[in-house]
Homo-oligomer: A and B are copies of this chain.
Amino acid sequence: MADRRPYRRESEERRREDLIAAALDLVAEGGLHAATVRAIAERAGVTPGLIRHYFTSKEDLTRVAYQRLMERMTTDSAAVLLGGPDDAMARLANFVVASVSPPVADPVAVGLWAAFVHDVRRDAAMREIHTANYLAFRNMLQGLIAALPRPVSDAKLRSDAIACNGVIDGLWLEGSILPEAFALGEIPAIALTSVGAILNIDLVAAYQPDRTLP
């Protein structure tokens, strides 16, 4: 008998995590069609058969990977809130800037996200994942807006959140797809001005960049 490939047993969580990460890496690099079962397995350091041991199908893996991606993007945007200033306007300003700056705004991230858009339209499970994460992000934004010292109706609060989310998403998209079309810091500055204009507050003045770094 020829020598069989040696291997180590790992926990289910670890293996699933590795496979998900490998899948996302490959989609980011080469699009959905580059994330083949064999390529994912190789990237994760296992053999192709193992994928079907942890996921019922490739479609299953795809769904889980998308969920992980969306989680990560929301988390990265929210990270700036931890340890930041307490002032409501400053918190909102920091959140807005973080949402259109790396690592959230990033060419690779956009390509990654776009790869799943069609599946979201077509697959009900994917759409559910998308809706939940989209609303989570928007509600987080709405919470920040609601904390501002200005009285508004619930209806206005909702449309303000949708509008601000729109600017953020749009600028995130354009700045990420065509980074060379904008000057350094131009997109974050425009984001602050626009969101401020929509909410009728001076967000630019409220912005407090992270000073923990030298």
- Chain B residues near A178: list those with CB within 8 A: 127, 130-131, 134
A118 at the interface (CB under 8 A from B): yes
B174 touches A173 (CB 8 A): no
User: Which A98-147 residues sit within 8 Å CB-CB of chain B?
Assistant: 107-108, 110-111, 114-115, 117-122, 127, 130-131, 134-135
Within 8 A of B (CB), among A49-106: none
Q: Tell me whether B169 and A31 are in contact (CB under 8 A).
A: no
Size category of the A interface is 35 or more
Tell me the residues in window 129-181 of chain A with beta carbons closer than 8 Å to chain B beta carbons. Answer: 130-131, 134-135, 159, 162-163, 165-174, 177-178, 181
Alpha-carbon distance between A165 and B197 when the two chains are bound, in angstroms:
15
- Indicate how many identical chains form the complex: 2
**B110 near A121: Cβ-Cβ < 8 Å:** yes
A186 to B166 CA separation, bound complex (whole angstroms): 13
Residues in B whose Cβ lies below 8 Å from that of A11: none
In the complex, the answer to whether B111 meets A117 with C-beta atoms within 8 Å is: yes
Interface residues of chain A, those whose CB is within 8 Å of chain B, are 30-33, 107-108, 110-111, 114-115, 117-122, 127, 130-131, 134-135, 159, 162-163, 165-174, 177-178, 181-182, 186-187, 189-191, 193-194, 197-198, 200
Lowest 10 CB-CB distances: which A-B pairs, in order?
A170-B170, A166-B170, A114-B117, A169-B170, A31-B118, A166-B171, A163-B194, A114-B114, A111-B118, A197-B198
